[in-house]
Amino acid sequence: MTENVLHAIDTIEVKRLPPDPDVMKAIGLSHDMTTGLADLVDNCIDANASKILIRFIRIGGRLRSLLVIDNGRGMGDKRIDAAMTVGRRRDYKGDSLGHFGMGLKAASFSQADTLTVLSKKRGRLAVGRRIKRAHVQDFLCEVLDPGQSGEDLEAALFEVEADGGTLVKWDNVRTFPTATDPTITDEYLSHTINRLRLHLGLTLHRILGTKVSITIDVTDADGGGPGAPSTVQSVDPFGYKRSGKASYPKDLICDVGGERLSITAHIWPPRSEALGFRLGGDPSIGQGFYFYRNNRLIEARGWKNAASTNRRLQLARVEVDISNWPELFDINMEKSSVHPRPEFIQAVESAVAKDGTSFEDYLADADGLYRESNRRGRTRQPVLEAGTGMPAKVRKAIQVEYPRDESRAALEIRWTDFYDGDEFFEVDRESNTLWLNKIYRKGMLAGRRGGVNDLPVVKALLFLLAEDVFRGAAFGPRDKDNAAAWQAVLTAAAKEETGK
Ligand SMILES: Nc1ncnc2c1ncn2[C@@H]1O[C@H](COP(=O)(O)OP(=O)(O)OP(=O)(O)O)[C@@H](O)[C@H]1O
Ligand SMILES: [Mg+2]
């Protein structure tokens, strides 16, 4: 029996079996609003656009449509027909983001019931096409009146300061909230725009800023014009200021069937608050591979079985450029995940850097740094929270570095009149405040504007020096003696600095 299965069986005929048109309903089902819009934005970038506007349109308080407008090269009659064709692949240049000939249709019908595309090459007439989801399985596409298409398109292109480009419009978006309550729409918008900014900022972080700008806004079609636009900022998952460990990042060389694929191993500094590290969630979710294709991040995070996800590996991230390895990595149609062949994982496991560091050594380095920083963090004495007087960023830094002493309220550092006294500060344990003598303020500001959070360096130094006298049950003799010595030294310094 088993032997028979191994034998090739003769072919007697080849039949062509076209898909059932109903299959069209299934395309793009694993898209969501953010991955769907990313697919449209990819198309704008492939068309060489430098400005892209994503616009939500509200009518009578409810969201109705969504536009993506770009100042790219636009399309003529032939190209727009190809664009509307499901699965029509074009000749892709080496650096194209497109690949399947599906994105525009799959992304659009995953979210909306009607897709309209208006486009125009510079100096040419506009063209317009529309497909309704209900007709998608019959492959029917409406050709729109060029004059009217041109008028609508011109108004849209004005927003990206161009006379050529493309407008993609989604109507009857199924994922928009249907409630008429404006607070629900507002909440949906702020949540969706935040997710979009993070997703686009991350996937396109290498492209944004230098070559391309993306803005998002909301327009009330009843009047009032567009609200304040928000610009998508790049979110760099390798954007630390200093590497967590001195000899990193390191290139590890993977031997794949005799060819060398270089991957870059990074170690983040511990406890970073940067958005590129946190990625809007728990710090341990960011570890793993970051797969790039033509400078677009396809999939971020996860070890694909080359390691197991573990809190202690939270500082480890590996950059992999799959652009030149199409046979080694498959990408899904939504361009949100990468499936490496087993050979890749095997090659990673035996990868080594020039200095002999193996993949295993790298993971051990990242793990070691995390554990060491955790130990340091744990043995630090808790301190009071910094309150009024300290800028938010300094408060945050204190909070990140020290465990918090919960026994008392936040320590405030504030200026006040000392009337006759010339002491620099006063410890007021009752109101949890370190008062600073106002007579020195102007001199120390040296022409800068004062405010509650002024002079952060002086205040941070004072916090680090004197915070512990506010803790504990009593202002003991040691605290008193310390405070007296600081008072003498700081008052002399303040007088010197301000010429009093
Ligand atoms: N904004 C645009 N500007 C110019 N041409 C566009 C634009 N959007 C789509 N096109 C054209 O339509 C074609 C089809 O787009 P679609 O996203 O469906 O497939 P693709 O980009 O070729 O591949 P993929 O499925 O990987 O995205 C593109 O190849 C491009 O020629
Ligand atoms: Mg595409």
Q: What is the 3-state secondary structure (H, E, C) of 372-392?
A: HHHHHHHHCCCECCECCCCCH
For residue 169, the ligand closest to its alpha carbon is: 1
Look at the block and give the residue holding tokens 């390191």. Answer: 250
Look at residues 300, 320, 316 and name the one whose alpha carbon lies nearest to residue 308: 316
pLDDT of residue 91: 82
For residue 160, the ligand closest to its alpha carbon is: 1
Nearest-atom index, ligand 1, CA of 79: 31
On the question of pLDDT at 353 being above 90, the answer is: yes
Look at the block and give the residue holding tokens 């199924």. Answer: 174
For residue 105, the ligand closest to its alpha carbon is: 1
CA–CA separation, 123 and 453 (whole Å): 55
Section 152-158 average pLDDT: 96
Task: Please state, as a whole number, how many other Cβ atoms lie within 10 Å of the Cβ of residue 188.
Answer: 17
CA–CA separation, 142 and 134 (whole Å): 13
User: Taking phi first (over 0 means left), then psi (-120 to 50 degrees means alpha), and beta for anything else, what does residue 86 get?
Assistant: beta
Which residue out of 30, 41, 43, 330 has the highest number of ligand 1 atoms within 8 Å of its CB and is therefore the one to mutate?
A: 43
pLDDT digits (tens, 9 = 90+) for 428-439: 999 999 999 999
Which residue out of 31, 40, 44, 46 has the highest number of ligand 1 atoms within 8 Å of its CB and is therefore the one to mutate?
A: 46
On the question of pLDDT at 228 being above 90, the answer is: no
Looking at mean pLDDT, say which of 366-375, 380-389, 482-491 comes out highest.
Answer: 482-491
Q: Tell how far CA 161 is from the center of its chain.
A: 27
Nearest-atom index, ligand 1, CA of 96: 21
Residue-range domains of the chain with CATH = 22-231 (3.30.565.10), 250-377 (no CATH), 392-498 (no CATH)
Q: Is 71 in the pocket of ligand 1 (CB under 6 A)?
A: no
pLDDT of residue 6: 64
Cis peptide, bond prior to residue 237, ω within 30 of zero: no
**What residues flank ion ligand 2 with Cβ within 5 A?**
43, 98, 103
Cα(44) to ligand 2 centroid in Å equals 8
On the question of pLDDT at 218 being above 80, the answer is: yes
Section 329-338 average pLDDT: 91
Q: Is 162 in the pocket of ligand 1 (CB under 6 A)?
A: no
Cα(432) to ligand 2 centroid in Å equals 59
Look at the block and give the residue holding tokens 């567009």. Answer: 226
On the question of pLDDT at 25 being above 80, the answer is: no
pLDDT digits (tens, 9 = 90+) for 163-197: 999 999 999 999 999 988 888 999 999 999 999 99
pLDDT of residue 381: 83
On the question of pLDDT at 378 being above 70, the answer is: no
Q: Is 108 in the pocket of ligand 1 (CB under 6 A)?
A: no
Spatial contact of 142 and 179, defined as CB atoms under 8 Å apart: no
Q: What percent of the chain has pLDDT over 90?
A: 74
DSSP state, residue 100: S
Cα(47) to ligand 2 centroid in Å equals 10
Q: Is 189 in the pocket of ligand 1 (CB under 6 A)?
A: no
Cα(358) to ligand 1 centroid in Å equals 41
CA–CA separation, 194 and 188 (whole Å): 10
Look at residues 159, 144, 26 and name the one whose alpha carbon lies nearest to residue 80: 144
Cα(98) to ligand 1 centroid in Å equals 6
Banded pLDDT at 280 (limits 50, 70, 90): confident
Which residue out of 104, 153, 157, 332 has the highest number of ligand 1 atoms within 8 Å of its CB and is therefore the one to mutate?
A: 104
Section 234-251 average pLDDT: 96
The residue whose C-alpha atom lies closest to atom 30 belonging to ligand 1 is: 83
Section 69-75 average pLDDT: 97
DSSP state, residue 72: S
Banded pLDDT at 3 (limits 50, 70, 90): low
Which one-letter amino acid corresponds to residue 298?
I
Q: Is 491 in the pocket of ligand 1 (CB under 6 A)?
A: no
Q: Tell how far CA 451 is from the center of its chain.
A: 33
CA–CA separation, 422 and 499 (whole Å): 13
Report strand pairing: 259-267 vs 62-70: unpaired
Banded pLDDT at 68 (limits 50, 70, 90): very high
For residue 108, the ligand closest to its alpha carbon is: 1
Section 376-393 average pLDDT: 86
Look at residues 463, 462, 454, 459 and name the one whose alpha carbon lies nearest to residue 402: 463
- Rg of the chain in Å (alpha carbons): 30
pLDDT of residue 195: 95
CA–CA separation, 283 and 53 (whole Å): 31
Look at the block and give the residue holding tokens 């918008």. Answer: 189
Answer with the residue of higher pLDDT: 378 or 290: 290
Query: What is the arrangement of strands in the sheet containing 433-437, beginning at the earlier edge strand?
Result: 412-416, 433-437, 425-428
Q: What percent of the chain has pLDDT over 70?
A: 98
Least confident of 22-26, 56-60, 449-453: 22-26
Spatial contact of 285 and 291, defined as CB atoms under 8 Å apart: no
Token couple for 12:
């007697």
